[in-house]
Amino acid sequence: MEKEVNIKTEKLVHIKDSMILGMADMVENRDNNTGDHIKRTSEVVKIFSEKLMECSEEFGVNDTFLALVAKAAPMHDLGKISIDDAILRKPGKYEPEEFNEMKRHTSEGARIVESLLENVEDKEFVQIATNIAHYHHEKWNGKGYPEGLKETEIPLCARIMAVADVFDAVSMNRCYREALPLEECFAIIKDGSGEDFEPLLAEIFLNIRDKVEEVYHELRTE
């Protein structure tokens, strides 16, 4: 009986995970600018987290926390479902008022994630997923959004996501610019150390350059 209950529970968790990923994919398909952004960032966060496990004590976290960060990564942009198509699908740069509207996807994302995961028993996972959605556009120097948090005020999971998110944003084509060569993308992470990104996280990310390049070469040739 206990075995059957565990199997049913695992199936329910799998179904819920699939629904969340499906919702994330649906949001991405509305956005002209992102194309497989969720897949790429999720892969990068996964290998990034695996590397961070080697120095987890420096961040005061354990392997379970980092595994949950990787699991939560696909949900980081769910808030875009609340953004009007006229803005989300705009073929060009945003005007200031449009950008302000776009910023809402962070706080909306946190609200949506909390609602979706309301009945999930793993409260640590719920908090990580919510924080990633809410704070992945915050910057180490306090000049990000939505709340202008700085340094360790920003939850670690969001600081990790921020590196992967920015790297992917500059490495792929946008309607208003060409994708940058990977060499320049890594340079952006290096230059952003201490400004946009936590210095130690930027350093660790640059140390997994070979693995990140493998991800992008594979996905670009699929």
Q: For residue range 176-195, list pLDDT tens digits in order.
A: 667 899 999 999 999 999 99
Band (pLDDT 50/70/90 cuts) for residue 127 is very high
pLDDT (average), residues 131-150: 98
Band (pLDDT 50/70/90 cuts) for residue 31 is low
Selection from 9-13, 50-54, 116-120 with the highest mean pLDDT:
50-54
Cα(177)–Cα(70) distance, rounded to whole angstroms? Answer: 29
Cα(222)–Cα(208) distance, rounded to whole angstroms? Answer: 22
pLDDT (average), residues 91-114: 93
Q: C-alpha distances in angstroms, 124 versus 49, 67, 69, 130, 136? A: 16, 11, 10, 10, 17
Could you tell me which of 42, 36, 39, 51 has the C-alpha nearest to residue 69?
42
- Measured from the Cβ of residue 202, the count of other Cβ atoms closer than 10 Å reads 22
Q: C-alpha distances in angstroms, 188 versus 83, 103, 134, 160, 205? A: 28, 22, 23, 15, 12
Report whether 146 contacts 103 (CB < 8 A): yes
pLDDT at 6: 47
